[in-house]
Structure 1
Amino acid sequence: MVEVAQIRPSSATISSLLPASANVLNLRRGKEMHGYAIVNGFEADLFVSSSLVDLYSKCVVISDADKVFDHMLVKNTVSFNSMIFAHANHGRCEKAIKIFFQMKIYDSVPDHLTFTAILTACSHAGKVKLGKYFFRFMQEGHQIVPRLEHYACMVDLFGRAGNLFEAYDLINGMSMQPDFFVWGALLGACELHGDVELSQIAARHLGELEPESTGSLCLLASLMVSAGRLGDAEKIKKAMKKKKLRRYLGCCWTQQ
């Protein structure tokens, strides 16, 4: 930390600068600010400690994030969300859920981001029943209306588990128009489990949402090749040429 003309950064300055380091994954600079915060007694500040949790979580130093979080005397929804996301993104579902239920002790109320994090944890761990529980609990226990990101998490959850038609039924029952991420989650699941028929539906919707994107068509063509439907793969290739869409690097459906 640079101090100019005896002007010393305050806790507010540190809590403002830490997110910048977190967003660009600059762990070294973040650690420097953490050290400065400790020396100057700022670490206990709620906003500083929450920013440190976010920094270490994004930089995948989960052990340091845990240490900061465990030493926080005051915790808020932001700090809880950061920790739940950190464990969720690394497959630590049980830890994420444990932290979720600690929120009540600190009078922290879960918000839509909290449930995005916990549903992500369930998805990455393949916990379908648990994911269903939290999806329902979000609506009935906290009166939070599902957003697109929640539906995308649930589609991903069902898809990873191979429940493709349950994922499709959920999409059809949505109260809003599914976006690119919702259909993308279904298409990704179709690729994982080799479901050609359902992948065509997902790819068609993705094509309508982003006509200039080649990703869904390339993935669909690759699925066709894997299923031995080379004629259909060739049709997709010709359709892309007709639309003058360029194939992206790594996309390949060519018969070997």
Structure 2
Amino acid sequence: MKQLTSASWQGHHSRVLHLFFTSLQSGDRGAVDPHPAAVPTALRACARLGNASSGRLIHALLLTRFPSLSSDAVVSTALLDMYAKCGLVASARRVFDEMPRRDDLVAWNALLAGYARHGLPERALALTIKMRGQGLRPDLVTWNAVMSGFALAGDDHMAEDLVRAMQDDGFRPDVVTWTSLVSGSVLNFHYDRARTLFRRMVSTGTRVLPGSATIASILPAFANVADVKRGKEVHAYAIVAGIEQDLTVSSALVDMYAKCGLVLEAHRLFDNMTERSTVTWNSMIFGLANSGHCQEAIGLFDRMLRDGARPVHLTFTAVLTACSYCGMVELGKGLYRAMKEEHDIEPRLEHYACMVHLLGRAGKLAEAYDFIKAMPLEPDCFVWGALLGACRSHGDVKLAELAASRLLTVEPANAANCLLYSDALASAGRQDDVLKTKRLAKRRRMKKLDGCSWLEPP
């Protein structure tokens, strides 16, 4: 039990599960402390890892090998929380309904948070009302859970109403409240509102100070609109607050500088980091690739593998993008094969689009089309769009016509596809067909997003 607790405190959740299941396999029942603490520790590890299969196995063990523990309130709450955090909200609700006593606010809050986290804020609110009906008073955790659900769903008005209701109930908004509001706005692309909320939070003075989660949440609001000036201001705050080296903050800063085109600054931060997550590696590789430093992006991917970091699907999207931009077709093909064969990552539509883009930019249009035909998934607008763009660049009108027809099926209201096709026709000198294509776009009332630019106020 001591080893289990120590591994849990150190955040070694995979080791927690290894120790737990190894002790069971030994056949020595004494190796697992009959006290309920061992099982909740293992269930918390499952929740942190998102390992629902191990959580289900522990649940089965409770019912068969440790039936006396299955009715324990702490164990039941940990089981409920595991299911909720793994996205199995229906299973969490069944555990909740089967609890012999439901007067523990922690269990209610765990289920509420599960509903809120997985896009069911109305159910979280209904559960709060039911809680009051059973004589339980919501606490600050309850209010934050319900409010965050509506914030994540993009319902800003309801989230604000719940903050006011929270205050009427005697609770002051804390750092979790503000961070939930900010992150909800960012996730729903309400960047102006996110920045306004952050300023309001800071203006409250020392009563509520932004933490590392708040900083990591607000930085994308500056990165995605290339507002580097205010991004630097938040960076300065992180330095003064002593949280610049926090992994989530430093990763968000690398991403912000990379997306704003300040690759040297992003690289400086990256190199000074004492710890890096997969997100950090991905942000730096993407930043290098999108800024034209393709060879460096590919070199950084190799360094990532040497350092023992595990690539994910976004990592391969980033490095395949770099290969495409610098025309390294054979390397890109090799990485695509390695993704499946060596790293056991099934290709997604974005990977297929990257491969079509890679082959198309290199002029290998027939190979790109054969690649699309061999896809096990239905090609989307990005896959066909990559082929159409390559056909325009290389003057293949016949294949452009095929790609455009598929795009009109997949994305019938996007005028940009017609414009790409008309450009290919124009390059081939087929002006009559260009006019027909433009008339088609007008007749179907297709719309193209207008270009825009802005100047941030000083």
Is the structural similarity TM-score above 0.5?
yes
Match of 1:9 in 2: 210
Q: In the alignment, is the contact (CA less than 8 A) between 2:413 and 2:444 conserved in 1?
A: no
Q: In structure 2, what residue type is equivalent to 1:217?
A: C
Q: Deviations over 1:85-143 (max 9, x none)?
A: 00111221221122112223543210000000000000011111111111111111111
Structure 1 residue 196, shift from structure 2 partner: 0.6
1:142 is the counterpart of 2:378 = no
Match of 1:46 among 247, 256, 281: 247
2:317 corresponds in structure 1 to 116
Letter in 1 for 2:259: K
Secondary structure of the 1:198 match is: helix
The Cα of 1:249 is off from its aligned counterpart by 9.2
- Please list the CA deviations of residues 42-94 of structure 1 after superposition, one character each: whole Å capped at 9, or x if unmatched: 11111110010011011111111001100001001000000000011122122
**Hey, which of these two has a bigger chunk of helix by percent?**
2
Q: Structure 2 CA distance, aligned partners of 1:65 and 1:146?
A: 29
TM-score w.r.t. the length of structure 2 is 0.51
Bigger Cα Rg: 2
- Residue 368 of structure 2: which of 164, 167, 185 is its match? 167
Moved over 3 A (4+): 1-5, 104-107, 230-241, 243-250
* Distance (whole Å) between structure 1 residues aligned to residue 241 and residue 426 of structure 2: 62
Aligned 8 A contact 1:74 1:106 in 2: no
> In structure 2, what is the Cα distance between the partners aligned to 1:196 and 1:180?
18
Deviation at 1:228, TM superposition (A): 2.7
Q: 1:3 offset after TM fit, Å?
A: 5.8
How many residues align structurally?
A: 249
Match of 1:254 in 2: none
Q: 1:15 to 1:101 in 2, by over 3 A?
A: same
Contact residue 218 and residue 247 of structure 1 kept, 8 A: no
Among residues 262, 267, 281, which one is paired with 1:80 in the alignment? 281
CA deviations over 1:150-188 (Å, ceiling 9, x no partner): 111111111111110011010000000000010001000
Segments of 5+ residues of structure 1 without an aligned counterpart are 251-256
Deviation for aligned residue 1:237? 4.6
Letter in 2 for 1:57: A
The 10-residue stretch of structure 1 (51-60 or 39-48) with the greater mean CA deviation from structure 2: 39-48
> Structure 1, residues 184-231: CA drift from partner, whole Å, max 9, x if none?
010000100111111011011001112222332333233223323344
| Residue pairs, 1:1-256, within 5 angstroms | 2=202, 4-7=204-207, 8-237=209-438, 239-240=440-441, 243-245=443-445
Letter paired with 1:77 = T
Return the offset for 1:236. 3.4
- Percent identity over paired residues: 52
CA 1:212 to 1:74, structure 2 compared with 1: closer, same or farther past 3 Å?
A: same
Q: Is the 8 A contact 1:76 1:106 kept in 2?
A: no
Deviation of the 1:18 alpha carbon: 1.9
CA RMSD of aligned residues (A): 2.1
> Partners of 2:384 and 2:427 in 1: how far apart?
21
Query: Which stretch of the first structure deviates more once superposed, 34-43 or 117-126?
Result: 34-43
Q: C-alpha displacement at 1:17, in angstroms?
A: 2.2
Contact (CA 8 Å) 1:3, 1:9: kept in 2 or not? Answer: no
User: Greater CA deviation, 232-241 or 111-120?
Assistant: 232-241
